Structure 1
Amino acid sequence: MKTAVNTAKTSPLSLVFTDFKEITKARLAVSVVFSSIAGYFLGATEIQLTSVLLLAFGGYCMVGASNAYNQVIEKDLDALMNRTKNRPIPAGSMTVNTALSIAITMTVLGVIALYVLNPQTAMFGAISIFLYTSVYTPLKTKTPLAVFVGAFPGAIPFMLGWVAATNDFGIEPGTLFMIQFFWQFPHFWALGWMLDDDYKRGGFKMLPTGKKDKGTALQIIMYTIWMIVISIIPVFGITGRLQLSIVAAIVIFLMGMVMLVFALRLFTRKDNKSARSLMLASVSYITLMQVVYVVDKFI
């Protein structure tokens, strides 16, 4: 009886919503929107709710469209991997045509929403979709350089918010771009380390050396150091209106050092547990770093 009741509660509408969240990777999309809004707060001289909502909606559409295109392109490879075999298309709960329709609709709506903010924001949003789907996705099965290419669209959201607020691209959004660009490498290589066996089933080449070795771990350390350096550069007053107080720079530096400790641990231990710790630390770092930047501006 209890099973029958639970089944009855699972309505077709809830299943559609679940599939929509999966095909757009809702959790990832929300984190990207968070980065964009943080960038907007940093660039804006006056916070406008309408602009924030347009940026949030347009940003979600851009990321959701990219992920839907990706899952259409990689549907056969997704079926081979444990982490992706239950996605809507390989699981059979969504057709390719439906996923493609969602991707196209979200692309159009996203570009329109960002264009209302200003043309530059729409342009960068469109570029991110193109790079992710037409360059990064095909390269994943051919070369580890795919991660380098993928770091470009992955680094756009933080700077996109500044451009949305100012309709200008200069050293300030360029700095925000570089912070998130360098962050991509330790984050995704840690993830790639954890899921290396699964990625290999799909033919993906995610680690820079192709192996879970000290060469990969060393590159993770190097990019983590560059990420820390770029993150605190605004404290020196050379990044235009993008400023950072000494206290905020110290906090960000210490957070970066925590992440570096996890990277060093991966270098010495070379195990999945250390890679997972680094991946989680990287997620915490990017979120808290953006919060520190925003709070520092307004206090």
Structure 2
Amino acid sequence: MSQLATSSVKPSLISDFKEITKMRLALSVVFSSLAGYLLGVETVNYTTLTLLAFGGYFMVGASNAFNQIIEKDLDALMDRTKNRPVAAGRMSVNTAFVIASIFTILGIVILYIINPQTAMFGAISIFLYTCVYTPLKTKTPLAVFVGAIPGAIPFMLGWVAATNDFGIEPGTLFAIQFFWQFPHFWAIGWFLFEDYKKGGFFMLPTRKQDKGTAVQTIVYTIWTLLASLVPAFGITGKLFLTPMSAIVVGLLGLGMLYFAIQLFKKMTTEAAKKLMLASVSYITLLQIVYVLDKFIR
């Protein structure tokens, strides 16, 4: 009987830990950071790579845990979030706060071991996400603009971890992921519009599922594509993209743009979901192409 009880408790604790830290999102952030590191490094240091992976995970986990503490009452109103551990009452606010605080300390300390600049950007990311983006979400669609800043930090954080320097190269990586955030989150805001509405979140730029939002989504998709191609012109220092890789990135960008245009034409939830999936595929494949381009050429 005790063995059954133990086995039933463990999955719950594990699933709650995954949920409070948003494990899938955190792992995607770690992936971006590692890609940025590989782009910036001369010789791969596997100790630094490991520290960056853990530091990045703790950083994102802390932000997400603080977010779920602040939004617990609103999370309880939405189908998408009502089963989160704090919102559902399975985890106390105090427990979540302890987890968030420990993760913050661990994240910043581990990133500081790599170098102080990496820790600084990690701390900025946690602060903006928790103290600025989260409170703004119920007040103005401009919250997406603020949220795009910490969302864009991981890709360039890897370069800073590799070089201990912030210049045109990490700035370009930041710009790519910054512009990408808008079509990605507006697609999510579109197909989850009714659910977000229950919690008082209006994530779309016009606060509506209308042509204005769809047009802005197309514009930012184009900006994402243009920013992604800048390294092909040899003006971004050590960050360079060969013509063949630039063609691949361009085709990926046109694919994402196609789905953004489809959202404008169809104005449906299904079109928004397809754009969201296309955006995730785009940023992941772009980072892979960038890294392969560096090591294969």
TM range (shorter): over 0.9
Q: 2:84 aligns with which of 78, 82, 87?
A: 87
- Counterpart CA distance in 2 for 1:175 and 1:252 is 15
Partner-residue secondary structure (3-state), 2:87: helix
Calculate percent identity across the aligned residue pairs. 69
> Within the alignment, does 1:18 sit opposite 2:11 as a pair?
no
Seen in structure 2, the aligned counterparts of structure 1 residues 93 and 248 have a Cα distance that, compared at 3 Å, is same
Q: 1:233 aligns with which of 219, 222, 230?
A: 230
- Counterpart CA distance in 1 for 2:207 and 2:72 is 23
Deviations 1:238-274, CA, capped at 9 Å, x for gaps: 0000000000000000000000000000001000000
Offset, 1:8: 4.9
Seen in structure 2, the aligned counterparts of structure 1 residues 76 and 235 have a Cα distance that, compared at 3 Å, is same
Seen in structure 2, the aligned counterparts of structure 1 residues 5 and 140 have a Cα distance that, compared at 3 Å, is same
Q: In structure 1, what is the equivalent of residue 196 of structure 2?
A: 199
- Counterpart CA distance in 2 for 1:265 and 1:217 is 9
Offset, 1:93: 1.2
Question: 5+ residue gaps in structure 2?
Answer: none
Matched ranges for 1:118-129 at <5 A: 118-129=115-126
Query: What amino acid is aligned across from residue 30 of structure 1 in structure 2?
Result: L
Aligned residues: 296
Offset, 1:128: 0.2
> Within the alignment, does 1:151 sit opposite 2:152 as a pair?
no
Partner-residue secondary structure (3-state), 1:115: helix
Q: In structure 2, what is the equivalent of residue 182 of structure 1?
A: 179
Deviations 1:150-208, CA, capped at 9 Å, x for gaps: 00000000000000000000000000000000000000000000000000100012000
- Counterpart CA distance in 2 for 1:289 and 1:41 is 14
- Counterpart CA distance in 1 for 2:177 and 2:10 is 36
- Counterpart CA distance in 1 for 2:249 and 2:4 is 48
- Counterpart CA distance in 2 for 1:5 and 1:209 is 55
C-alpha contact (below 8 Å) 2:68/2:87 kept by paired residues: no
- Counterpart CA distance in 2 for 1:189 and 1:10 is 40
- Counterpart CA distance in 2 for 1:157 and 1:137 is 18
- Counterpart CA distance in 1 for 2:69 and 2:168 is 36
Q: 2:34 aligns with which of 34, 37, 42?
A: 37
Deviations 1:80-117, CA, capped at 9 Å, x for gaps: 00000000012121110000000000000000000000
Matched ranges for 1:105-144 at <5 A: 105-144=102-141
- Counterpart CA distance in 1 for 2:130 and 2:35 is 25
Q: 1:74 aligns with which of 71, 74, 87?
A: 71
- Counterpart CA distance in 2 for 1:73 and 1:148 is 20
- Counterpart CA distance in 2 for 1:248 and 1:144 is 35
- Counterpart CA distance in 2 for 1:118 and 1:197 is 44
Q: In structure 1, what is the equivalent of residue 242 of structure 2?
A: 245
Matched ranges for 1:213-228 at <5 A: 213-228=210-225
- Counterpart CA distance in 2 for 1:126 and 1:270 is 38
Offset, 1:5: 12
Query: What amino acid is aligned across from residue 136 of structure 1 in structure 2?
Result: Y
Query: What amino acid is aligned across from residue 59 of structure 1 in structure 2?
Result: G
- Counterpart CA distance in 2 for 1:51 and 1:17 is 27
Query: What amino acid is aligned across from residue 277 of structure 1 in structure 2?
Result: K
- Counterpart CA distance in 2 for 1:87 and 1:181 is 27
Q: 1:51 aligns with which of 25, 43, 48?
A: 48
Q: In structure 1, what is the equivalent of residue 277 of structure 2?
A: 280
Root mean square deviation, CA, Å: 1.3
> Within the alignment, does 1:271 sit opposite 2:268 as a pair?
yes
C-alpha contact (below 8 Å) 2:19/2:84 kept by paired residues: yes
Offset, 1:18: 1.2
- Counterpart CA distance in 1 for 2:212 and 2:7 is 48
Structure 1 ranges of 4+ moved more than 4 A: 4-9
> Within the alignment, does 1:161 sit opposite 2:158 as a pair?
yes
Offset, 1:9: 7.0
Query: What amino acid is aligned across from residue 177 of structure 1 in structure 2?
Result: F
Q: In structure 2, what is the equivalent of residue 297 of structure 1?
A: 294
Deviations 1:18-50, CA, capped at 9 Å, x for gaps: 111100000000000000000000000010110
Structure-2-length-normalised TM-score: 0.98
Seen in structure 2, the aligned counterparts of structure 1 residues 266 and 6 have a Cα distance that, compared at 3 Å, is farther
